[in-house]
């Protein structure tokens, strides 16, 4: 599943991490975020990597973040793909110099 499809609606922190992990191929289609809640709440290398990726996507504007009722929530930014494309162009321009 494409990450933009996995984050179409506002999702809690664990579900957003699951969407990132699914987009990267760590979790299969029959998986459900509730099966992985313990992993998302413990200190482990996979969880740390998924958190870093999600934070970086927020930092570049590809993912939006807001405070929800019980947890921080995340969703794909409507301008997310355009911002990622802009960053790709910047990278290409920078690598030519």
pLDDT tens per residue across span 23-78? 999 887 766 777 887 888 888 999 999 999 999 999 989 999 999 888 899 999 98
User: Which positions ≥6 away from 33 have C-beta within 8 Å?
Assistant: 14, 15, 17, 18, 40
pLDDT at 97 over 60: no
Handedness of CA 31, 23, 20, 75 (dihedral sign): negative
Q: What pLDDT, on a 0 to 100 scale, did the predictor assign at position 55? A: 95
């Amino acid at each position: 599943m494409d990450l933009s499809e996995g984050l179409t609606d506002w999702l809690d922190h664990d579900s957003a991490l699951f969407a990132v992990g699914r987009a990267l191929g760590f979790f299969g289609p029959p998986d459900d975020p509730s099966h992985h809640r313990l992993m998302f709440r413990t200190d482990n290398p996979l969880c740390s990597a998924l958190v870093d990726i999600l934070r970086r996507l927020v930092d570049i504007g590809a993912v939006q973040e807001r405070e929800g009722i019980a947890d921080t929530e995340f969703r794909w930014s409507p301008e997310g793909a355009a911002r990622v494309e802009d960053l790709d162009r910047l990278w290409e321009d920078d690598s030519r110099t």
